[in-house]
């Protein structure tokens, strides 16, 4: 279908997707220098990796941050690496919460949280379920925030006998929900099965009613900024607009974020964040899925401005 993403260009801010150059958020270099005192005065940055990744994959991003924001404490949480990243997402959320809590407790001014790919969903679940978190900016880097529905190399390797059209038969079972990918598998042709069987995404989006929904929404809204980053040449996130909260309708036509029921009904706070002016991000062409965290331009324009 037509590209319905309103976020074309370098960066966007609140107000109907009006383009706001990310650089506008940067203090003058002089001010940056004045802010750097011994020990560093930038908030710590915590990174949650994606499927089949491990902390070593983020050495470029760590270097970019250390170069532009000297003294920043950067932590890539070393849990559920490689094959263990297939564990159920709620199990991973619990593990990452235990690792994140002491870092937040030691950060008087809060932390920035960056989740890459599957890690972006884990981060959103962390924010929803931690009532006392002190995350300032939540940066969602090429994450399938509205789910995944596509034939990718990952899928062929994991489920060689399934294609996107029939994976629902496996994913929407208790057995399937024991695999991380199935926790956010969102088949637009089997909506009822998704709503009834998805133990993770349908709950996180409050698409299936649950008693914690209002608490989770209030917790998520403690953040100061939600930054969504993705692009049309990602090659893995399908549709790529899922990284910007767009997704397929029943005809596999992409509907952008502002047409989604979860936005219109503000089920978990997305519309509130935009109304507050706290929703930003980038739609960047020319970046493949595994290159997001090592791309200098993506860092400078889409990540660095939010790491205050």
- Cα–Cα distance, 158 to 175 (Å, whole number): 14
Task: Name the active-site residue from 85, 117, 180, 197.
Answer: 117
Inter-CA distances, 279 with 129, 138, 145, 272, Å: 20, 10, 14, 9
56 among known catalytic residues = no
229: nearest Cα among 138, 142, 303, 147: 142
* Neighbouring C-beta atoms of residue 248, cutoff 10 Å: 22
- The contacts found for 212-215 with CB under 8 angstroms, 24 or more apart, are 212/129, 213/267, 213/268, 215/131
- Cα–Cα distance, 194 to 173 (Å, whole number): 10
234 among known catalytic residues = yes
DSSP letter at 8? B
289 among known catalytic residues = yes
Task: Name the active-site residue from 187, 206, 234, 278.
Answer: 234
The answer to whether the peptide bond before residue 275 is cis (omega within 30 degrees of 0) is: no
Tokens encoding 108: 């008087």
Residues with a known catalytic role: 117, 234, 289
């Amino acid at each position: 279908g037509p590209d319905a993403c309103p976020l074309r260009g370098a960066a966007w801010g609140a107000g109907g997707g009006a383009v706001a150059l990310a650089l506008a958020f940067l203090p003058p270099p002089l001010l940056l220098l004045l802010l750097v005192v011994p020990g560093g005065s930038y908030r710590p940055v915590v990174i949650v990796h994606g499927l089949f990744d491990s902390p070593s994959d983020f050495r470029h991003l760590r270097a970019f941050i250390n170069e532009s924001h000297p003294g920043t404490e950067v932590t890539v949480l070393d849990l559920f690496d490689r094959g263990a990243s297939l564990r159920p997402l709620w199990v991973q959320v619990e593990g990452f919460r235990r690792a994140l809590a002491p870092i937040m407790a030691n950060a008087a001014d809060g932390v920035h949280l960056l989740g890459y790919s599957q890690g972006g969903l884990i981060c959103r679940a962390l924010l929803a379920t931690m009532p006392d978190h002190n995350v300032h900016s939540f940066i969602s880097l090429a994450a399938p925030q509205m789910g995944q529905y596509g034939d990718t190399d990952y899928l062929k390797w994991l489920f060689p006998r399934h294609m996107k059209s029939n994976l629902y038969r496996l994913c929407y079972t208790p057995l399937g929900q024991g695999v991380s990918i199935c926790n956010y598998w969102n088949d637009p042709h089997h909506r009822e099965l998704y709503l009834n069987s998805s133990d993770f995404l349908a709950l996180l989006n409050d698409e299936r009613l649950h008693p914690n929904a209002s608490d989770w929404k209030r917790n998520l809204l403690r953040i100061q900024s939600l930054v969504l980053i993705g692009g049309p040449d990602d090659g893995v996130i399908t549709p790529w607009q899922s990284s910007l909260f767009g997704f397929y309708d029943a005809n596999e036509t992409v509907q952008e974020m502002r047409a989604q029921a979860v936005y219109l009904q503000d089920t978990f706070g997305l519309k509130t964040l935009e109304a507050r002016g706290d929703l930003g991000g980038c739609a960047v062409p020319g970046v493949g899925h595994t290159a997001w965290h090592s791309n200098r331009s993506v860092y400078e324009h889409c990540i660095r401005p939010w790491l205050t």
